[in-house]
Structure 1
Amino acid sequence: MSGTTTMLTYVQETPDQLALNLEQSTCLTQSLVDAWRAGSYHHVWIIACGSSFNAAQCAKPFMMKYLDVDVQIVPPTSFLLYKNLLRDDDFVFTISQSGCSTNSIKALDKIRELGHTSIGLTGNLQSDFKDHADILVDYGVGSELIGYVTKGVATLAEFLMLFALEAAYASGRIDSAVYQRVRNEMAEVPSRHKVVQEASLDFYKRNRAMLTSMTVSYHCGFAQGYGVACEGALKLGETIKVPSFAYEAEEYIHGPNLQLTPNYTVFFIDDFENGSDRLYQIFYATNAVTDRCFAVTNNPRIDDSRAVRLPFDIREPRLTPLYALPFYQTIAFKATDEIGCWKQHPVFEEFRKHITSKTPTIDKVMPIDH
């Protein structure tokens, strides 16, 4: 319907938000960069779940490269229960787009309990996060009130990359030439995002029958490609409501592949870097079992009918999630809309009666958050 805001609306708004956040990157990341520079850190812990976890996974290879430290991403409840052996040189922060996720709020309190500064990244500074964080950071998502989150994933991944770049530059880990070279390519991300949006719509039209008849889907990649695959698996599971699983591509062929039948749909996300050749080999082997194989790749050995291309001068492959994400976001929306499966099964309401993952404030600040 004309004039109706949908999930796809926010996909289409994403390039402008990415451009704005890049332009304002020094100011946007300042408080987090200051916190980083206040200590001598050798390890980053990111506490996040759902799409925030996946956005962090998309940004992780970039962060490791430019900060030159290990980055660990931990679900909040794992952090609360056992995975919380923080050292003095560990830099830790918690993310929730809505700022109302109960497990993330508890993680903020746990960080304080462990003697560290409680840092919260959110898309809403008026949320419950404000009462539990020593430092509250708006990562620049803007407004996103219709599920399932799309703009929030890309803007969070970009923010984490910008933080790493700004912190690395401010602390002298990279020089001005490297800093400017990366920023120059980041300035191309919004236009690349729009190209991939169009390519994904075309891909959907060409493969509509398969994409609207999925039963089980696998999503595979290495490094930054794996980050995109994680978000793809979540999006298709949330929207189309088929079992969807993300695997590091080599891990996929160590057991999960044994389930393969011609009915399985398998997506491969190229990292456009060291994993490309191996990913193609795994794609080729999978294609011998099912012709429902697709890829985001520039590998010429994969037929155009099965691929979405990134026809750009990719100088920094670790930026690719910022403009590869609309592939999944677009097909998730289109297939769900055509099939008409936005609503959960009616019996799912019984689940909601027994447990919740958000504070009551969610209804006031951000109706949809994952």
Structure 2
Amino acid sequence: MATMTMLDYINQEQEALTKILNDYDFSSDFKLAKMHTVTILATGSSYNACLSAKIAFEEIADVSITIEEPYNFNHYGRLIKSTDTIIGVSQSGKSASTIDAMKKLANSEIQQIVLTSDEKSPIAQVADQVIDLNMGIETVGFVTKGFSATVLQLILLAIKVGVSKAQIDEGRLKELKQELHEIISNIQSVIDKSNAFFENHEQLLKLGGRFVALGYGPNWGTAKEFETKFTETVRRPSQGFELEAYMHGPYLEADWEHTLFFIETPSSNQARSQALADYMNEYVGTVLKVTTEKSSDQNVLGLDVSVSEIFSPLLLIIPFQLLAYRTATAKGIDLSKRIFDDFDSVLKSKI
């Protein structure tokens, strides 16, 4: 059997997300109807996925969400007193910090839910309810399909909470499902456009010294996952910022070595993003954009899709997954070769 690659999993995303949506049970659940104040425990790409889905979850389910890094929370954190639900997210199910934090809360009256791709994993043993990400086991460490599956599963859980609270009727449920189906149907087109964009910018990306992505709203999560993927694979200094946060200091390090990615969707914040891009263009090596809108500018990857902002991370993350893989490959990095092979065993970051 051939060894799976990061690219293989990217190419499986459309089929996997279609299956997740088709299989999902949206029936009412009285336990979920009590969800109002939620703490999510996640780290790494799982954290980024939760950040990408947070605004959609809060709007659809009418809840307030706090996302915590589990290690810090376990040692220094304090649960908001009104918290009624804890959600632990670990794709592998082996994240030691998330498992430890969930265990610490095991005897409370708070509803506990776990999202994982492995229902037999250690984290599945420490919660009342286990939600299978329903995308199989991703054997490549640089997760892509699992990231997108986590974003979608959180959105679907939010819809189920809305149904359970009687805030989403059959008509609205049908509309939401149709919108998600349309978004997912565009994934292959986004992959094709991303490949063409990479080929037009291969030398720039291959030789880039520092990569920075800026996003707003739900695509703050997209920018943070860009940071994770580029750091893991391209192995050059890479960072993702919330748009406004970048303006409060980080811009001062900008120089000719920097490649800036602006992640844009139609929004009240888009004009501010565009103004910053215009300003920074004089001070950095290259400004690139990834947008859901159409564009003929060679430095803009225009996906040309109609998508609500709260669901846009499902599509906007894919170019960065693809660009990370192809840039690393162009640089001659063999992503199938493990490095720091004893890291997890020595530092005990995973069980």
Q: Above 0.5 in TM-score?
A: yes
What TM-score results when the alignment is normalised by the length of structure 1? 0.88
CA distance in 1 between counterparts of 2:81 and 2:108 reads 9
Distance 2:162 2:81 in 1: 21
Partner of residue 307 from structure 1, selected from 293, 300, 304: 300
> What is the Cα deviation at residue 138 of structure 1?
0.8
Task: Write the deviation string for residues 18-38 of structure 1: whole angstroms up to 9, x where unpaired.
Answer: 1111111216xx69x55322x
| Aligned-pair identity (%) | 27
- Unaligned runs of 5+ residues in structure 1 are 360-370
Aligned residue for 1:26, secondary structure, equals coil
Choose from 295, 318, 331 the match for 2:323. 331
Q: How many residues align?
A: 351
Distance 1:9 1:347 in 2: 21
- Structure 1 position 198, deviation (Å): 0.6
Tell me how far 1:267 sits from its aligned partner.
1.0
Give the partner amino acid of 2:23. Answer: Q
TM-score by length of 2: 0.93
Equivalent-residue separation in structure 2 for 1:303 and 1:259 (angstroms): 30
Partner of 1:280: 274
- How far apart are residue 189 of structure 1 and its match? 2.1
User: Which of 162, 166, 177 is the matching residue for 2:160?
Assistant: 166
2:66 counterpart (52, 67, 72): 72
Residue type at the aligned position of 2:195: L
CA change 1:273–1:25 in 2 (3 A) is: farther
Shift of 1:95: 0.8
SS of 1:262's equivalent in the other structure is: coil
The one of 197, 201, 216 equivalent to 2:195 is 201
Residue 102 (structure 2) aligns with: 108
Residue of structure 2 equivalent to 1:12: 11
1:146 aligns with 2:140: yes
Q: Does residue 217 of structure 2 align to residue 212 of structure 1?
A: no
Tell me if the contact between 1:193 and 1:324 (Cα under 8 Å) persists in the aligned partners: no
- Are the structure 2 counterparts of residues 263 and 85 from structure 1 closer, same or farther at C-alpha, using a change threshold of 3 Å? same
Please state how far the C-alpha of 1:355 moved relative to its aligned partner: 1.1
Using the alignment, how far apart are the partners of 1:346 and 1:127 within structure 2? Answer: 22
Tell me, in whole angstroms, the C-alpha distance in 1 between the residues paired with 2:79 and 2:338.
42
Mapped partners of 2:173, 2:121: distance in 1:
33
Question: C-alpha separation between the residues in 2 aligned to 1:10 and 1:229?
Answer: 20
Q: Partners in 1 of 2:338 and 2:138 — Cα distance?
A: 26
Aligned partner of 1:36 in structure 2 is 32
8 Å contact kept, 2:255–2:285: no
Q: Alpha-carbon deviation of 1:75? A: 0.8
Residues 293, 304 of structure 2: 8 Å contact kept: no
1:62 pairs, out of 49, 56, 70, with 56
- Cα offsets for 1:5-54 (capped at 9, x unmatched): 21000000010111111111216xx69x55322x3x32221110001011
Q: Structure 1, residues 235-264: CA drift from partner, whole Å, max 9, x if none? A: 000001111111111110110000000111
Amino acid at match of 1:13: Q
What pairs up with 1:124-273 in 2 under 5 angstroms?
A: 124-273=118-267
The offset of 1:178, in angstroms, is 2.5
Q: Contact 1:67/1:164 (CA < 8 Å) preserved in 2?
A: yes
**Cα distance in 2, alignment partners of residues 13 and 277 from structure 1:** 34
Distance 1:157 1:35 in 2: 22
Say if 2:24 is the partner of 1:25.
Answer: yes
* Cα 1:346–1:179 shift into 2, 3 Å: closer
Instruction: Provide the residue aligned with 2:311 in structure 1.
Output: 319
- What is the one-letter code of the residue matched to 1:320? S
> 1:160-214: CA deviations, max 9, x gaps?
0011112112312233332221211101122211111011100100000111112
Q: Which amino acid aligns with 2:306?
A: D
Higher relative contact order (CA 8 A, sep 6+): 1
Matched residue, 1:362: none
Cα distance change on mapping 1:15 and 1:210 into 2, 3 Å? same
Contact 1:262 1:289 in 2 (8 A): yes
Secondary structure at the counterpart of residue 162 of structure 2: helix
Cα separation, 1, equivalents of 2:200 and 2:172: 40
Q: 1:350 to 1:170 in 2, by over 3 A?
A: closer
